Structure 1
């Protein structure tokens, strides 16, 4: 690939790192944590004042539960661990607090001049629902919870507000919640489109590599036909003496043998290729990447695998390397990357793509993301192999590709 073509491809990879579904979810979760702390701090003085007018112990318990869950959301967002679970817990607890508020208020004077302090956390709760729930449930929560607050606002425990004021408060919370829902949904859809485009680009890249290999083989055969077959035919046509005819016959046998060997080398479905062929494909892909990978090759000589398995291993390994380039780096974090290719004497292969990056939680990956679940795990399974992913926050990531499945048990 010309250098002029490599540079735009590298620039495109760097741009994509700014918009992926995983990053959108991280930004939304961290914004939820920050807003939760800010709005919580704003409401805390009022919450402590109104706690004295609630049933004994209820005010303190309510403040402790809701503020504790806000801190849990902020901690989960900062560490990127169990984000959805923490957000869902807060959303559920907030809705329950709205429902029980009329039952725990014993001194109506606390809401005579100020609305229930829960109002100031309504937008935080609807944002938590957007982060934690599928779009349909998030919409229902965003509409239902402000409506519940508006109804409570009409009751004596909610300050017995006028209908217009109660509707206005509910609409304000509803509009803020819908704005957050729309923004996050748009960002998610954009990130999903980027993920699909990346998968399609990888497929096109793999197809281009195959076409390039086929073109090289075609040029090789064309040269062979020109150099051997045509020369033999011309020699045979010009042979007039027994010596010249014998020479033409030997040339014909040699050309036939070389054509048979060329046909045997052409990889077709159902054929087997040596692991050095797979190593060359991976080194060719690495030459186009901006990041540097250390390549270690062990015991690949004499090991052959089916073409389909080589294709699956190559494509899955390229996807793992692209994922590492996109997601492994963090602020002030130097990442080392390595690709290890190991042949198994029984006729198998193990490829490990490892980095020392920031790591991630596999359970937190959205089902819509294709890079891990489809391009790596399912692709290897469909080819009769397996993929194992080991990662953790701050512990880097290792993607292990095995063909056939369970090959590591063979010694």
Structure 2
């Protein structure tokens, strides 16, 4: 059994992912996806009841499109892939079908005065718009949907309701949609404030720890100067006999060796820092990039790394991120490139960082020697501190760059 570490445990503040912006967005998207499925199931009887009023086969097509879109946003929210795209698609699809509803109706009397069954999915569409669109667009979308539904209810194809009832139905959609929009916006603002406060706290902690390490080193050097150098100088000043001068010379040699050893061991900052410091620095770097990256952080709590390892992993990772921005896009392929940054703590003192994209990829064998981004900025930088790097890529299949410290930790268990 290994001996217990005699050093006192240090408290390292870490980012509380449970209240971060990314986690709040995930919770909101999954809530919309779940309730979308619930509302879709509840609309089935109403949709089937209005089959005689519509063109043959239209109900089946509408159900397939809308229910398929609802299922898609639920799956996207769980996988955390394409959430905004799928929800924007659902919102626009709903608005299009609602606008075209009068074209689908062939027997308005068969509606029996009831409104289109699409009404029951109106708030799923407005909630999707609130998640996927900027605030002004989501607000405009909610107003447009509610306003058009009020107009539609007055028409024969919408049930020929009296204007007062039509206005009430439209107001219901508007009020509930605006409430959901306000809740989502409030949670986003709160999460953003928490992220900024935690980033500031981590920055203050980092600076305080560096200052503390500097003060410790200063005290150690002051003690060395006082106990060794000054004593040697005083002895040399008072040395009159040959024996005293020889003793002073030996003391001077010892003092010089002590100073050399102290100079070789002077740290540039704190000996070890929490993985949260690396996460914060990478998030800060991403905030300056033009293209978005999905960030995933796993097992960061309790992981501490040397300062040299943090600097090397950070620099190599930023180089890989920049390479993705510069080379992943294909001018002949208009699709949006998905980029992801994954940070995984291993044990108590290891880290694996993966930078991936589904861009055009490349052939590593064709990279010219004079291109230093991979060889110097990533490979040699990591090797110099005892880490490692790997790259998996091929033309047309994207690129994955893995940066690990210490070397080989990415092949072990998390």
Distance 1:124-1:30 versus aligned 2 partners, 3 A rule? same
Compared CA separation, residues 41 and 307, structure 1 to 2 (3 A)? closer
Residues 54, 105 of structure 2: 8 Å contact kept: yes
Aligned length: 323
Match of 1:182 in 2: 182
Match runs of 1:1-400 below 5 Å: 6=11, 16-256=16-256, 258-259=258-259, 262-263=262-263, 265-266=265-266, 281=272, 291=301, 309=311, 312=314, 337-338=346-347, 352=352, 400=402
Aligned-residue offset at 1:174 = 0.5
Secondary structure of the 1:74 match is helix
Structure 1 residue aligned with 2:339? none
In 1, the alpha carbon distance for the partners of 2:203 and 2:401 equals 19
8 Å contact 2:275–2:301 — kept in the other structure? no
Deviations 1:346-377 (A, max 9, x none): xxxxx6369xxxxx9989xxxxxxxxxxxxxx
Distance, in Å, in 2 between the alignment partners of 1:161 and 1:306 is 72
1:115 aligned counterpart, secondary structure: coil
Change in Cα spacing, 1:399 to 1:181, as seen in structure 2 (3 Å) is farther
Secondary structure of 2:89's aligned partner: helix
The superposition leaves residues 266-311 of structure 1 with CA deviations (integer Å, 9 ceiling, x where unpaired) of: 456xxxxxxxx99x5258999xx9956699x9xxxxxxx9899459
Whole-Å Cα distance in 1 between the matches of residues 144 and 246 of structure 2? Answer: 95
Shift of 1:31: 1.6
Cα distance in 2 for partners of 1:141, 1:308 equals 46
Give 1:125 deviation, angstroms. 0.5
What CA distance in whole angstroms lies between the structure 2 residues aligned with 1:284 and 1:19? 18
Gaps of 5+ in 2: 1-6, 278-298, 319-341, 359-376, 383-387, 393-399, 406-414
Question: Could you report, residue by residue, the CA deviation over 1:93-125 in whole angstroms, capped at 9, with x for unpaired residues?
Answer: 100011101122111113342111111111110
CA spacing shift, 1:156–1:285, aligned 2, 3 Å: closer
1:402/1:23 Cα in 2 relative to 1: closer, same or farther (>3 Å)? closer
The CA deviation at 1:70 is: 1.4
CA distance in 2, matches of 1:388, 1:21: 30
Residue in 1 that maps onto 2:370:
none
Residues 229 and 255 of structure 2 are in contact (CA less than 8 Å); yes or no, is this contact kept in structure 1?
yes
Q: How big is the alpha-carbon RMSD for the aligned residues of Structure 1 and Structure 2?
A: 4.3
Task: Summarize the Cα distance change of 1:36–1:339 in structure 2 as closer, same or farther, 3 Å threshold.
Answer: same
Question: Could you tell me how far apart the structure 1 residues matched to 2:164 and 2:26 are?
Answer: 38
Determine the C-alpha separation between the residues in 1 that align with 2:391 and 2:54: 51
Change (3 A) 1:285 1:165: closer
In the alignment, structure 1 segments of 5+ residues that lack a partner are 269-276, 298-304, 317-321, 326-336, 342-350, 355-359, 364-379, 391-397, 404-411
Counterparts of 2:18 and 2:310, CA distance in 1: 34
Tell me if the contact between 1:20 and 1:195 (Cα under 8 Å) persists in the aligned partners.
yes
Cα pair 2:275 2:304 within 8 Å, conserved: no
**What is the alpha-carbon distance in structure 1 between the residues aligned to residue 204 and residue 102 of structure 2?**
61
- C-alpha offsets along residues 170-227 of structure 1, whole Å, 9 cap, x if unaligned? 1111110011111111111111222222322332232233223212211221121011
3-state SS, counterpart of residue 352 of structure 2? strand
CA distance in 2, matches of 1:313, 1:361: 16
